[in-house]
């Protein structure tokens, strides 16, 4: 019986030690986290400034109108889409633009979904 009591006392002392250690660790953790976060703040501010500059550039690009493509200089894809919209067959489109039959099939298929 004395052995069991000694074991229980040793276990209780060990558990008290673990509780004290966890208590100390939980108090020490916020200090290290705050230090780490304070070190990250300048990096985050630089990234935010960079994102702000990119946003301003994007807004400028959106504001400036793009020049209209002259009718004779339309890309083959735009020409194929225009012809598909006008009801031309795949063979007729292929004879007018230099695209593969697979690309023209895709354009006609996608045009039908719009």
- Residue % of the chain over a pLDDT of 70: 85
For residues 78 and 102, is the Cβ–Cβ distance under 8 A?
A: no
How far CA 101 is from CA of 75, 80, 90, in Å, comes to 16, 11, 7
Dihedral through CA 90, CA 92, CA 82, CA 79, nearest 10? Answer: 100
The model's pTM: 0.37
Return the domain boundaries, the chain.
73-113
Cβ 76 vs Cβ 99: under 8 Å: yes
- Residues 50-89: tens digit of each pLDDT: 999 999 998 888 787 766 656 566 788 888 888 888 888 8
């Amino acid at each position: 019986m004395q052995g069991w009591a000694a074991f229980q006392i040793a276990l209780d002392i060990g558990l008290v030690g673990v509780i004290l250690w966890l208590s100390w660790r939980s108090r020490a953790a916020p200090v290290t986290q705050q230090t780490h976060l304070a070190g990250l703040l300048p990096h985050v501010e630089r990234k935010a400034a960079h994102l702000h500059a990119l946003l301003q550039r994007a807004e400028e690009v959106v504001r400036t109108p793009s020049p209209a493509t002259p009718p004779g200089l339309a890309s083959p894809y735009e020409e194929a889409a225009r012809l598909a919209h006008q009801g031309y067959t795949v063979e007729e489109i292929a004879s007018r633009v230099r695209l593969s039959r697979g690309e023209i099939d895709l354009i006609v298929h996608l045009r039908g979904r719009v």
